Amino acid sequence: MREQARTARVGTTVFGGRVTAGRPVVTLSLIGICVVVWLLELVSPAFESRIVFAPVLGQSQPWRFLTSAFAHDRTFVLHIVFNMYALFIVGSYLEPLLGRIRFAALYLISALGGSVVYLLMAHKPTPAELLAGEGGSWYTGLVGASGAVFGLFGALLVLNRRLGRSSAAMYATIAINAVLGFTIPGIAWQAHLGGFVTGVVCAAIIAYAGQPAPGRPARHDLHGIGLAAVTVVLVLLAVGKYAIT
């Protein structure tokens, strides 16, 4: 029986992930982490200051590029409610489709992409602007899973297109959220944009890289290489931004 278990083929999804049954474990784990972090923020407001991302802090404390995606505005409960609801709905669809590892990678890389684009679009104030109290987005903190969630939105569009499925409802959802991001003060639309574009790129790699062809088997190992390349590009963009600022 042990020998049979070692040699048995493991079922995979259409995109090369391991087939899983039951609850979306990664999605629920991400939601659980966000809720725990939010509760810690309520108990100790200083905790938020240690994980929030702001361009001024990213170079010396790079972990903030990711940790900020697990924090939410402690004074506005709907912030975490809306994000976690969206994460559950989209994650419950994407996680079984991609497999746990690919889904987790997609989420984290999209979160990183949201922070990096926020950094790229931030303006470092001049000494005169600082004296005038105009720190701008360089000193403005970024929290929330929105960038990562928008990455899932973008990935859903790409993967559904690859499968020939309709995404009509998602187009409307993205459009509404995009309008809200530009019209409501305090929403970091830059992170939404960065997460969305990153999610689209990651999903394109998963959907199209290494696909089987006549006489050639699938090369799903290329997914890891491609996702790693996206991560490296994001890191280099952040390093470059700090180098020239």
Residue 220 annotated among the catalytic residues of the structure: no
Question: Catalytic residue among 68, 110, 137, 146, which?
Answer: 146
Q: Give the ranges where the chain is alpha helix by DSSP (H).
A: 2-7, 25-43, 45-51, 55-58, 64-67, 77-98, 100-120, 127-131, 146-163, 168-183, 189-208, 221-244
CB-CB contact of 33 with 70 (8 Å)? yes
Q: Which residue has the tokens 């083929």?
A: 9
* The two three-digit tokens of residue 91, written as one number: 């994650």
d(CA 102, CA 81): 25
Question: Catalytic residue among 72, 115, 137, 192, which?
Answer: 192
* Short-list 155, 143, 163, CA closest to 227: 155
Burial of 132 (0-12, 13-18, 19+ CB in 10 A): exposed
The amino acid sitting at 53 is: F
Residue 192 annotated among the catalytic residues of the structure: yes
d(CA 161, CA 240): 34
- Which residues are the active-site residues? 146, 192
